[in-house]
Amino acid sequence: MSSPHDFDFLHGAWEVHHRRRTAFLDPDSDWEEFPSTAHCRPLFDGAANIDEIDMPHLGTKGLTLRLFDPESGRWSLNWSSSRSGRLFPPVIGGFGDADEQHDGRRDRGEFYGDDTHDGKDVRARFVWSGVSDTSARWEQAFSLDGGETWLTNWIMDFTRPEAGR
């Protein structure tokens, strides 16, 4: 079961290396790579947070609002882009069980939701993994068949800036 402090690792400044498909639904599309920076700050004593990611390569910024629901024990991750100015449908989920901890931290979380992309209904999956104080990985995958098969279309590797280590 998740806890309201699962995303504490994310607070602060990050350098981010992106690798994303040029066409999210095409398994044969090329990958593009680019850097960005991100900053996350806690809200609600850690049971929520907000981050902004600056992606000059794409000419846009992104924002994620994460909220922990104490009744369900799950997180909702709510994404917005400066390009659209709207919140996308949330993905809901959490981090693994207590027996899946490393250094007292659950280091893998999975989050699922329904959305549309290029006019097609998709099931979206976000995975956080390799969580530590100085690094983490986020991956996005879409499914066109209700989650039977997945196509990973975006990977972000987070590292702390040298000055912050």
Mean pLDDT of the chain: 92
90-102 pLDDT tens trace: 999 999 855 454 4
Say yes or no to pLDDT of 25 above 70: yes
Q: How far apart are CA 45 and CA 25, in angstroms?
A: 38
pLDDT band at 1 (very low <50, low <70, confident <90, very high): low
SS3 152: strand
Q: How far apart are CA 157 and CA 138, in angstroms?
A: 7
66-81 pLDDT tens trace: 999 999 999 999 999 9
pLDDT band at 63 (very low <50, low <70, confident <90, very high): very high
φ, ψ (nearest 5 deg) of residue 50: -140, 135
User: What percentage of residues in the chain have a pLDDT greater than 70?
Assistant: 92
Please give the pLDDT value at position 96: 80
Please give the pLDDT value at position 162: 79
104-151 pLDDT tens trace: 456 799 999 999 998 999 999 999 999 998 999 999 999 999 999 999
Q: Which residue has the tokens 């398994």?
A: 27
